[in-house]
Amino acid sequence: MSDASGRPDHVAALLGRIVDRSCLIGIVGLGYVGLPLALAAAKARFRVLGFDINAARVAQLNRGESFVRHIPTEAINRAAREGRFKATDDFSRLDEADAILICVPTPLTRQREPDMSFIDATARAIAARLRPGQLVVLESTTWPGTTRERLKPVFERSGLVCGRDFFLAFSPEREDPGNTDYQTSTIPKVVGGEGIEALELAQALYDSLVVRTVPVSSTATAEAVKLTENIFRSVNIALVNELKVIYEPMGIDVWEVIEAAKTKPFGFMPFYPGPGLGGHCVPIDPFYLAWKAREFDTPTRFIELAGEINTAMPHYVVDRLARALDERAGRGMKGSRILVIGVAYKKNIEDTRESPSLRLMDLIEARGADVAFHDPHVATIPVTREHPALAGRRSLDLAPDAIAGFDAILIATDHDEVDYHALVAHGRIVVDTRNACARAGLTGDHVVKA
């Protein structure tokens, strides 16, 4: 059956509910992607039911408490007061949602291959409750073909047919935690659908949530867009990291070079070196494409080389730290006391996922030094698979006498709230991987760029 416009009844009905904001949006995964999306949908006057396997997080959100620094508690409370947001760990309620948006993690295994366990588990949970007329959109970053090859067959085992009974799309998340210039609703969304109807529905939904949607020809194309965005960053960061290593023995400051180069109004985009890559996207996404490319016997030399350079940066930084101790203090790493500034993977956030700071701490301790850290946004290092020995360590206060008690300070994350003047004034040696001291106008023989 179809309506007057020729649309199938399921499409017309759901499209109508999207337009008049009467549809219920289910969001699976209430982390750094799902929670901002849920609040954006609530602000757009949709009702939102958020799903998460973390019962403690669900309870926290239902109490109106935020666990993400840049998401204010008031935003959660407002959405709840207006009856537009509720969290649950009861996945049997998935059939209540008209549109289900999947925002679950896609990490790598220890062998640096895609770990699809969260997507697979979510797909099975949805399939068990899938009903006619639902739209399902995957937002999790993944390899091209996942939506069609991984989700569609699982959903169709329910007996429902994709494109006739239910509708499937992909729209990559573009969250940038800590970015005060852009929020979920002000970032354009790329959308690809499994068929014309799925694309129409997904575009209509996101048109209601964000400033603009960018439709593409397929879900695989939309999946490739996300990988391309993050591989672009990975490759360019690797380039400036390598330039840093090349220029250092020449006595050339790579940060000064970049600042001068970016005055060119065309043909150059500034990227900045650091101690390594962190976060859930840039260090991981290139490996998703490299893994998928092997299926087609296609080499990914450029992408893999960038990964090798970025992965090697913590070792380079620790070597620079060891040299600074030797040249300026006449001592080795063994027995030294090192204070790492910042364990979040980027400035002004509390997210430690894939943080190079944790790798730095492990490498420094492997050389026999004692390591402590200060981070204004991370009170305690959480449990991680890669760095279990660091779990539970607490941030130190930056009192002048505490700073002076360390043999060297290593700036790994350049949070705005850190007192760099105190570090330079009281620190014996300051090794700066982010150019934070120079940006603050602080120099000295004991300040070393790395």
The beta strands (E) that lie in 299-402 are given as: 337-341, 370-374
At 8 the pLDDT is 74
- Considering the chain, what is the average pLDDT of its residues? 94
Q: What is the pLDDT of residues 354-394, one digit of tens each?
A: 899 999 999 999 999 999 999 999 999 999 888 999 999 99
pLDDT the model gives residue 291: 87
Q: Which of 157-166, 233-242, 276-285, 435-444 has the weakest average pLDDT? A: 276-285
- pLDDT of residue 108 exceeding 90, the answer is no
Quick one: average pLDDT of 92-110? 94
> What are 154-206's pLDDT values in tens digits?
999 999 999 999 999 999 999 888 888 899 999 999 999 999 999 999 999 99
Domains plus CATH for the chain? 9-217 (3.40.50.720), 233-449 (3.40.50.720)
Position 325 scores a pLDDT of 97
Res. 6: pLDDT tops 70: no
Q: Residue 143 and residue 25: Cα distance in Å, rounded? A: 25
Q: What is the pLDDT of residue 226?
A: 95
Instruction: Look up residue 349 and give its two tokens.
Output: 């956030």
- pLDDT at position 423 over 70: yes
Up-side HSE of residue 318: CA atoms within 13 Å toward CB?
A: 24
User: For residue 311, which amino acid is it?
Assistant: T
Quote the CA–CA distance of 302 and 286 in Å, as a whole number: 10
pLDDT attached to residue 400: 95
| Token pair listed for 409 | 């300070």
List the one residue out of 282, 272, 261 whose CA is nearest residue 237.
272
| Amino acid making up residue 59 | A
User: In this predicted structure, what is the pLDDT of residue 286?
Assistant: 84
Q: What percent of the chain has pLDDT over 90?
A: 86
Contacts of 209 (CB under 8 A, 6+ apart): 37, 40, 41, 44, 46, 184, 185, 189
Catalytic residue ranges: 281
∠ CA(265), CA(267), CA(268), 5° rounding? 80
Helix orientation angle between 301-329 and 285-294, rounded to the nearest 10 degrees: 140
pLDDT band for position 5 (50/70/90)? low
At 305, is the secondary structure helix, strand, or coil?
Answer: helix
Res. 3 pLDDT band, cuts 50 70 90: low
Residues 401-422: tens digit of each pLDDT: 999 999 999 999 999 999 999 9
Structure tokens at 335: 């027995």
Residue for token digits 């329910």? 158
Token digits for 299?
A: 């080499």
Report percent pLDDT > 70 for the chain: 98
Cα–Cα distances in angstroms (integers) from residue 82 to residues 43, 48, 75, 205, 332, in the given order: 10, 11, 11, 20, 60
Under the banding of pLDDT at 50, 70 and 90, the label for residue 111 is confident
pLDDT of residue 287: 83
pLDDT of 432 above 60: yes
Q: Indicate the helix (H) or strand (E) that contains 135.
A: strand 135-138
- Token representation of residue 290: 């490299």
Q: How confident is the model at residue 4 (pLDDT cuts 50, 70, 90)?
A: low
300-357: pLDDT as tens digits: 999 999 989 999 999 999 999 999 999 999 999 999 999 999 999 999 999 999 899 9
**Average pLDDT, stretch 42-58?**
96
Return the higher-pLDDT residue of 431 and 66: 431
Tallying the residues shown for the chain, one arrives at: 450
Distance CA 168, CA 432 (A): 47
Q: Are 370 and 333 in contact (CB under 8 A)?
A: no
